[in-house]
Structure 1
Amino acid sequence: MKRDIKHIKTVSEFLKTFGLEEPNNPFISILHPLAILKSKSLLEHDYILDFYTITLKDNTCSHFLGKKKFNFEEGELAFTKPNQVLNISSIDQLNTSKGWVLLFHSDLLKSTPLFNKLSDYRFFDYSINQGISLSTNEQKRVTECVNFLKNEIMLTFDKHSSVVISSILEVMLNLCNRFFERQFDKKAIEDNYIVSKIDAFLKLYYENNLFSEKGVPEVNQIATYVNLSPNYLSNILKKETGKNTKDYINYFILEKSKSLLLNKQDYSISELAFKLGFNYPHYFSRFFKSKTGKTPLEYRKQEY
């Protein structure tokens, strides 16, 4: 039986869906895994989240966000990034879980250096269907970061909050990177997973100024790059991310435009539009507003 897919755009919406209290900070929340499941009916759906999740799950933890069910013998960390198709699995043993779930939206970080580094943390890749195994000491270290974050997000949000939270989160992610590189061969992951290759293609295409020189890449170009037919490629992306190839390209452009709008170089809207492959600025403005509900100028002026 085909499962319904629910699209959840914000951390606040996620907590509301699962019958939890509004977060003190709307962009980030830390939950006990047992708090997530309020209704068995929630297991009947898959989910697409527009934010990142990190889950620490030990062998007694009963609920878990992920692509597949995991076999946790000790403790493991697992990661999801925006636009993956996820499910919440449930097992027995409900009483002694020591895990946690961290949810955070990239908008929290967009005025910080970490915003542009998130794509460099390969453990967020959708294709890694295995968690990172942690020793007891490693679990303790990463949980200390989470507790530090928890204390910070309990405070009133002020102009320093994003920077402080970003700094703590970056330390945590760098620890995860150490654990990840110890366990996985990064090159093998990048060589074997289609979405990783597409992400790398789009990033390189942008860095080489090909958006401005040649326009937005065509679906056929990307299909050729990953050695798949266009239809088969779209089927894979639809299954794994909820988007076809064209939608996935547009998602990359949208996230890059958000970053550029807040860049200290202060690109004009026209410069930014051409940089992202739009022949006319008003086409870019129309695209951006259709995706965010705001014009590029409105997005640039908003304060967090």
Structure 2
Amino acid sequence: MIIFKDFESFNEYVGLKKPIDNDIDIGYYDSINMRSQSEPVKADFYRISIKMDYTDKTLAVPKPITAIFFSSPEMLNGWNVEPNYTGMYVQLSKKIIEENRFLFKTYLDYGQHEALYLTESEVEEISTLFGLMYKYYKSEKQDFGVLLSYINVLISVVEAFYNRQFSTNPKQYNRIVMDFQQSLKDYYNQPVNQLPNVQYFADQLGLTPNYLGDIIKHFTNKSALENIHEFVIKKAKELLEKNNSMNNTQVAYELGFEYPNYFSKFFKKQVNLTPKEFREQIKSNNFY
């Protein structure tokens, strides 16, 4: 398997123009002169590809699509496509991503799950934005601040489009939400030695944490971590109320807290009562 460490070697392999920078590469596709078929390869950088009338011949029912694709390091990419699509691409080094992580949100690992399918008006909007970005890039002013601002706008537009896509086909994503909620319930059906976290549930569902988190946030209006914390508090209240023989330390360990004092602080933050105060309130309510 070939691993491409830089834009130049990858572009030469695919049939794209030589990059003019080692950290940001922007260009248009010329599919007639590009490699239309390849075994899986890896590119050790990030790619955002906007492809119009793109037909993947490996699909059971090949049909032209217009979509944005995301690729990140460690992803395998092989292709067998019709050489008649158009579009544009942005390639970003790992260095640029790490130095500007706050700009790029979560979409760069979406390539493992789903493309972003574009409507005609969205294609027009993306094309206009890309044209401005490409013009500035070709001027060779080398002002990364301006280029990154353009890319940030592109990512913000992508966020709006993904929200539209999530809302268009809720049945597909509701399954993920339900599986996440069921996994939460199943978590404490076994002995645990740590608190549940987003990475654990993402692994259970075969998704990346960012992708899972964005879907959960879109459909529940709360982050995946907020959902987890709510469930932990629910379990904590059940144990504190129904298991009088368990002291606070035992409850903390039962829930997966490593340190009992952290459980007390966590509970106080979420409920505005300490575990002891919560139990006293329950006793008082029961008395009356």
TM-score computed with the length of structure 2 as normaliser? 0.52
SS at match of 2:117: strand
> Which one-letter code corresponds to 1:34 in the other structure?
D
- The CA deviation string for residues 251-295 of structure 1, in whole angstroms up to 9 with x for no partner, is xxxxxxxxxxxxxxxxxxxxxxxxxxxxxxxxxxxxxxxxxxxxx
Match of 2:138 among 154, 163, 168: 154
Could you tell me how far apart the structure 1 residues matched to 2:22 and 2:39 are? 24
Could you tell me how far apart the structure 2 residues matched to 1:170 and 1:188 are? 29
Report the counterpart of residue 52 of structure 2 in structure 1.
58
Are positions 1:46 and 2:40 aligned together?
A: yes
Are positions 1:170 and 2:152 aligned together?
A: yes
Deviation at 1:58, TM superposition (A): 2.3
- Contact 2:30–2:86 (8 Å) recurs in 1: no
Could you tell me how far apart the structure 2 residues matched to 1:189 and 1:106 are? 33
- Contact 1:25–1:153 (8 Å) recurs in 2: no
Deviation at 1:108, TM superposition (A): 3.0
How many residues align? The count is: 188
SS at match of 2:48: strand
SS at match of 1:83: coil
Could you tell me how far apart the structure 2 residues matched to 1:25 and 1:116 are? 22
Flag the 1:53–1:226 CA change in 2: closer, same or farther, 3 A: closer
> Which one-letter code corresponds to 1:172 in the other structure?
L
Report the counterpart of residue 75 of structure 1 in structure 2.
66
Could you tell me how far apart the structure 2 residues matched to 1:36 and 1:141 are? 25
Structure 1 residues without counterparts, runs of 5 or longer: 195-216, 238-304
Flag the 1:45–1:53 CA change in 2: closer, same or farther, 3 A: same
Structural mapping, 1:215-230, within 5 Å: 226-227=203-204
Flag the 1:70–1:47 CA change in 2: closer, same or farther, 3 A: farther
Could you tell me how far apart the structure 2 residues matched to 1:177 and 1:90 are? 27
Deviation at 1:70, TM superposition (A): 8.9
Are positions 1:6 and 2:2 aligned together?
A: yes
Deviation at 1:138, TM superposition (A): 0.8
Q: Work out the percentage of aligned pairs sharing the same amino acid.
A: 14
Deviation at 1:71, TM superposition (A): 5.6
- Contact 2:46–2:108 (8 Å) recurs in 1: no
Are positions 1:182 and 2:164 aligned together?
A: yes
- Contact 2:51–2:86 (8 Å) recurs in 1: yes
- Contact 1:53–1:80 (8 Å) recurs in 2: yes
Report the counterpart of residue 120 of structure 2 in structure 1.
136
- Contact 2:55–2:64 (8 Å) recurs in 1: no
Match of 1:127 among 112, 115, 123: 112
Report the counterpart of residue 260 of structure 1 in structure 2.
none
Could you tell me how far apart the structure 2 residues matched to 1:73 and 1:155 are? 33
- The CA deviation string for residues 107-155 of structure 1, in whole angstroms up to 9 with x for no partner, is 235544xx2343x3246324323x2222211111111221122112213
Deviation at 1:227, TM superposition (A): 5.0
Flag the 1:34–1:110 CA change in 2: closer, same or farther, 3 A: same
Report the counterpart of residue 24 of structure 1 in structure 2.
20
TM-score computed with the length of structure 1 as normaliser? 0.50
Could you tell me how far apart the structure 2 residues matched to 1:124 and 1:75 are? 19
Are positions 1:84 and 2:72 aligned together?
A: no
Could you tell me how far apart the structure 1 residues matched to 2:132 and 2:163 are? 24
Higher relative contact order (Cα pairs below 8 Å, separated by 6+ residues): 1
Could you tell me how far apart the structure 2 residues matched to 1:167 and 1:224 are? 34
> Which one-letter code corresponds to 1:86 in the other structure?
N
Could you tell me how far apart the structure 2 residues matched to 1:225 and 1:85 are? 20
Structure 2 residues without counterparts, runs of 5 or longer: 181-193, 209-288
Could you tell me how far apart the structure 2 residues matched to 1:69 and 1:192 are? 28
> Which one-letter code corresponds to 1:169 in the other structure?
I
Based on CA coordinates, which of the two structures has the bigger radius of gyration? Answer: 2
Could you tell me how far apart the structure 2 residues matched to 1:224 and 1:128 are? 16
Report the counterpart of residue 92 of structure 2 in structure 1.
104
RMSD between aligned alpha carbons?
4.0
SS at match of 1:13: helix
